[in-house]
């Protein structure tokens, strides 16, 4: 209600700029920030590690990342164990843990389309994308995606296929964090065994 005064810019600006407010009635021209793409590649066969990190203290992910995806092809390991995802923040980076941070669900589908099981999940160290990956015949492939929600909160969705005791299984799920203590700087794929085969490609959209 009442009158409102807006102060216009003193000129026409430059081609492609937009009109921006400072929140106090002053308008000015500003350049549009174009989105950029960052990519990273990991070969677990040469890494031979229990943690596959996209973002380390020497090569962190952009803190302006708005979405990301990890394409996984034939990921294998040298033992039988769970596979999980953790988000890291700060320059160390520090990885979230604790049941206050992770919630979600997973559904396993056998090839005969019946549902093998589903349950609410919380885990002290990571969100499990599948349970007890069988090293003798298991190669996991698929996609894990992250979408920025607000602040330091992320939504994660995955769609993976793998085998356990000879049965092809599809693992799909979604989960979120309440809020990390800092901006995302790393995404970790982890297991208690050692990854020893496959290819992982990270693609992040940065603005």
Please give the average per-residue pLDDT across 149-168, as a whole number. Answer: 81
Q: Which band of pLDDT confidence, cut at 50, 70 and 90, is reported for residue 113?
A: very low
Measure the CA–CA gap between 66 and 109, rounded to whole angstroms. 30
Q: What is the pLDDT of residues 114-144, one digit of tens each?
A: 344 444 444 545 677 777 777 877 889 999 9
- The pLDDT of residue 128 is 74
Please give the average per-residue pLDDT across 19-35, as a whole number. Answer: 90
- The pLDDT of residue 116 is 40
- pLDDT > 90: what percent of the chain? 47
* pLDDT greater than 60 at residue 168: yes
Q: What is the pLDDT of residues 56-84, one digit of tens each?
A: 999 999 999 999 999 999 999 999 888 88
- Please state, in angstroms and as integers, the Cα–Cα distance from residue 182 to each residue in 13, 58, 195, following that order: 36, 18, 28
- The pLDDT of residue 101 is 44
Measure the CA–CA gap between 85 and 200, rounded to whole angstroms. 13
Phi, psi angle pair for 49, to nearest 5°: -130, 160
* pLDDT greater than 70 at residue 165: no
How deeply is 160 buried, as exposed, middle or buried, from its count of CB atoms within 10 A (0-12, 13-18, 19+)? buried
169 beta partners: 110, 162
- The pLDDT of residue 32 is 84
Cα atoms in the Cβ-side hemisphere of radius 13 Å centred on 138: 27
* pLDDT greater than 90 at residue 201: yes
Of 32 and 118, the one with more pLDDT = 32
* pLDDT greater than 90 at residue 98: no
Q: What is the pLDDT of residues 43-53, one digit of tens each?
A: 998 988 999 99
Q: Which band of pLDDT confidence, cut at 50, 70 and 90, is reported for residue 15?
A: very high
Here the tokens at position 202 are 């990270």
CB contact set of 43 (below 8 Å; sequence gap of 6+): 198, 199, 200
């Amino acid at each position: 209600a009442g009158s409102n005064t807006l102060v216009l810019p003193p000129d026409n600006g430059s081609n492609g700029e937009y009109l921006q407010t400072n929140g106090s009635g002053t308008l000015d021209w500003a350049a549009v920030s174009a989105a950029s793409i960052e990519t990273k590649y990991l070969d677990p066969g040469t890494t031979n590690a229990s943690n596959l990190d996209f973002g380390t203290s020497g090569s962190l992910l952009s803190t302006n990342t708005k979405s990301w995806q990890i394409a996984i092809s034939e990921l294998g390991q040298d033992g039988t164990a769970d596979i999980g995802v953790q988000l890291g923040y700060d320059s160390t980076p520090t990885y979230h843990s604790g049941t206050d941070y992770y919630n979600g669900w997973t559904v396993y589908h056998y090839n005969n389309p019946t549902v093998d099981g589903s349950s609410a999940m919380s885990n002290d160290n990571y969100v499990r994308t599948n349970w007890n990956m069988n090293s003798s015949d298991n190669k996991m492939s698929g996609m894990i995606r992250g979408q920025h929600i607000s602040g330091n909160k992320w939504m994660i969705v995955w769609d993976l296929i793998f085998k356990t005791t000879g049965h092809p299984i599809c693992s799909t799920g979604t989960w979120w964090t309440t809020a990390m203590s800092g901006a995302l700087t790393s995404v970790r794929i982890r297991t208690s065994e050692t990854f020893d085969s496959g290819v992982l490609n990270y693609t992040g959209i940065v603005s």
